[in-house]
């Protein structure tokens, strides 16, 4: 662009307040949008609600996808502390994102990408880059229309990608959050741009139980809706989260004061498993209500394909046997959402194995200096021990002690990412005689760098989005136990790590009985270790929990639970 062209653009910049935020060849009305907001408090279950409705719509034959919007200024979720935000989920394309995208993938049995995730940081980064390139010449860049327009553009871009019949967009946080104002405004503008029949709103809100009066209280919901109305958005459906089923009189009160039909007030009580929620919504015709509101025809699937959602979860006889206790020994165990994908992956195995899994969360920082008696007291009655991923030195010695307990007492062990690295450290110290073995992450100047930085990480200084991320192929050793578990010679798994096993120590491990049965295609990075002398001692550098699905449990988790069952019932 030359100076003359820039001057012409600048001269025309005041001609109109309208800007075009439609992708090329976008067709209004081709895709319907369902925007999900939350009120009263965060963490109320918007993600599971969005995923459940998406699943129901998919079961009816619609092409559906979901998006998650977060208001924070981080570009992605890669540097967020699990204590503050739960686990960081990793997509196949390497996007580090909110845990709700894991819920979406599990409920829709699909693979999402970076276009399913949006943060304020991502939006502002795009806008500032455009401003520096001169794409807004002559205009003052503002929240409206530029920020809201960019939000709508990314929604439409995702809709066009399918193309999809429906895109469900979950706006994180609550309507009272200042960082979400521009997203709510974009949702308001969306109905003006796309048309009344092409956009609808669902509000998920908490209906608390008052112990003092012994009744459900609708006033917080009423205030939440009033706040939403002030921002120009009238919800079409209100999903009410509560401890128990929503009382009829409370449903009537919410309908009256919030201006929605009574059958558009949906009860969402606490359930034993999130996978029962689609069936509860199905009983209340949530999907049909949304379809009617959007003036769509019902594209029922072929005869015989329609079924109760997640039927195996609703019918399997998990109560016939005593609970199977799995110890989750990690440094973030006080925040259970830090390991949400792992607990889901364990739950996915229950129908196939006919068990009920009791996950015991143990904070390993308390085991760093604990006596053997304390360790035994916490682990004596568990049937399996799992060490999940994590970063930093805190709590790692406690994890190593748990791994040693599992190895010496023949308790099934599954290590994930950091659990792989610490299993290698424990084995090197206890069996291979490398007493000072550690990771350069914990001690940069160690004389025994058993775990060290990946080669491509050596010159990296930025922490965000720079790890080995996303889906990569793993070559399995033919004839190994793990290869038999998968039933294949090559698998595709998701990674999120900076450190690897130092191959200078590989021969010492193999001499002591460890089998490295999974590696990169060029065999340069060890990615799975197995100790065949143990009933089940397997650790992976990748995160198999990210690929587990309700009706397709991950092979490694399935084998781990099977080993735990044998440990529970040795006969």
Question: Is 543 among the catalytic positions?
Answer: yes
Question: Is 567 among the catalytic positions?
Answer: no
Q: What is the largest CA-CA distance in the chain?
A: 86
CB 448 within 8 A of CB 461: no
Strand partners, 515: 530
Q: Which residue is catalytic, options 348, 432, 545, 567? A: 545
Separation between Cα atoms, residue 500 and residue 509, nearest integer Å: 15
Classify the C-alpha dihedral 12-17-23-26 as positive or negative: negative
C-beta neighbour count of 157 within 10 angstroms: 13
Q: Which residue is catalytic, options 146, 543, 554, 567? A: 543
Write out the two tokens for 534: 């143990």
Whose tokens are 């509000």? That residue is 203
CB 32 within 8 A of CB 156: no
Which of 492, 563, 500 shows the shortest CA–CA distance to 534?
Answer: 563
92 prior amide bond cis, ω within 30: no
Which of 203, 123, 125, 124 shows the shortest CA–CA distance to 171?
Answer: 203
Separation between Cα atoms, residue 76 and residue 78, nearest integer Å: 6
Residue-wise burial string across 303-327, b where 16 or more C-beta atoms lie within 10 A, e elsewhere:
eeeeeebbeebeebebeeeeebbbb
Helix runs in 46-198, H state only: 46-59, 82-85, 100-108, 120-133, 148-161, 181-194
Write out the two tokens for 279: 């069936």
CB 348 within 8 A of CB 548: yes
Separation between Cα atoms, residue 533 and residue 512, nearest integer Å: 10
Q: Which residue is catalytic, options 417, 432, 452, 517? A: 417
**What angle separates helix 100-108 from helix 46-59, to the nearest 10 degrees?**
20
CB 439 within 8 A of CB 451: yes
Separation between Cα atoms, residue 95 and residue 469, nearest integer Å: 8
Residue-wise burial string across 110-129, b where 16 or more C-beta atoms lie within 10 A, e elsewhere:
eebbebbbbbbbbbeebbee
The gap from C-alpha 565 to its chain's centroid, in whole angstroms, comes to 28
The gap from C-alpha 161 to its chain's centroid, in whole angstroms, comes to 21
Catalytic residue set: 417, 543, 545
């Amino acid at each position: 662009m030359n100076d003359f062209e820039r001057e012409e653009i600048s001269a025309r910049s005041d001609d109109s307040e309208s800007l075009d935020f439609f992708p090329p060849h976008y067709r209004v009305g081709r895709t319907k949008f369902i925007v999900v907001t939350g009120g009263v408090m965060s963490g109320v279950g918007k993600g599971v609600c969005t995923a459940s409705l998406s699943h129901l719509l998919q079961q009816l034959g619609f092409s559906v996808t979901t998006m998650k919007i977060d208001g924070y200024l981080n570009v992605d979720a890669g540097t967020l502390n699990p204590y503050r935000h739960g686990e960081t989920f990793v997509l196949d394309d390497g996007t580090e994102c909110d845990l709700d995208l894991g819920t979406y993938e599990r409920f829709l049995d699909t693979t999402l990408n970076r276009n399913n995730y949006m943060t304020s940081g991502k939006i502002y980064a795009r806008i500032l880059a455009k401003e520096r390139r001169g794409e807004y010449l002559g205009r003052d860049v503002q929240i409206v229309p530029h920020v809201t327009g960019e939000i709508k553009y990314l929604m439409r871009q995702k809709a066009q990608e399918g193309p999809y019949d429906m895109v469900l967009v979950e706006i994180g946080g609550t309507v009272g959050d200042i960082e979400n104002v521009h997203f709510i405004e974009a949702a308001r503008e969306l109905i003006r741009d796309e048309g009344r029949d092409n956009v609808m709103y669902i509000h998920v809100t908490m209906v608390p139980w008052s112990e003092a009066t012994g009744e459900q209280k609708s006033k917080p919901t009423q205030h939440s809706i009033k706040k939403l109305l002030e921002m120009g958005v009238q919800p079409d459906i209100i999903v009410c989260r509560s401890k128990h089923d929503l009382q009829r009189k409370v449903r009537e009160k919410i309908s009256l004061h919030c201006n929605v039909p009574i059958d558009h007030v949906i009860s969402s009580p606490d359930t034993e498993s999130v996978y029962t929620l689609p069936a509860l919504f199905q009983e209340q015709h949530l999907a049909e209500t949304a379809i009617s509101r959007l003036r769509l025809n019902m594209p029922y699937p072929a005869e015989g394909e329609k079924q109760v959602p997640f039927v195996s979860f609703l019918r399997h006889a998990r109560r016939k046997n005593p609970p199977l206790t799995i110890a989750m020994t990690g440094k973030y165990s006080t925040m259970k959402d830090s390991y949400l994908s792992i607990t889901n992956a364990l739950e996915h195995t229950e129908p196939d194995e006919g068990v009920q899994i009791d996950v015991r969360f143990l904070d390993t920082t308390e085991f760093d200096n604990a006596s053997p008696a304390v360790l035994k007291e916490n682990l004596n009655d568990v049937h399996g021990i799992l060490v999940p991923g994590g970063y930093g030195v805190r709590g790692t010695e406690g994890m190593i002690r748990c791994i040693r307990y599992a190895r010496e007492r023949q308790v099934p062990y599954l290590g994930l990412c950091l659990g792989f690295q610490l299993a290698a450290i424990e084995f090197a110290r206890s069996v291979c005689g490398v007493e000072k073995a550690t990771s350069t992450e914990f001690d940069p100047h160690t004389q025994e760098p058993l775990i060290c930085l990946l080669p491509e990480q050596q010159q990296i200084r930025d922490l965000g989005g720079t790890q080995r991320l996303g889906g990569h192929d793993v070559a399995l050793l033919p004839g190994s136990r793990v290869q038999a578990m998968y039933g294949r010679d090559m698998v595709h798994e998701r990674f999120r790590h900076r450190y690897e096993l130092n191959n200078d120590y590989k021969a010492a491990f193999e001499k002591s009985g460890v089998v490295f049965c999974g590696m990169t295609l060029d065999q340069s990075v060890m990615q799975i270790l197995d100790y065949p002398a143990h009933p089940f001692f397997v650790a992976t550098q990748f995160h198999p929990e990210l690929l587990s699905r309700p009706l397709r449990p991950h092979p490694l988790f399935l084998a781990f639970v099977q080993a735990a069952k044998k440990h529970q019932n040795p006969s």
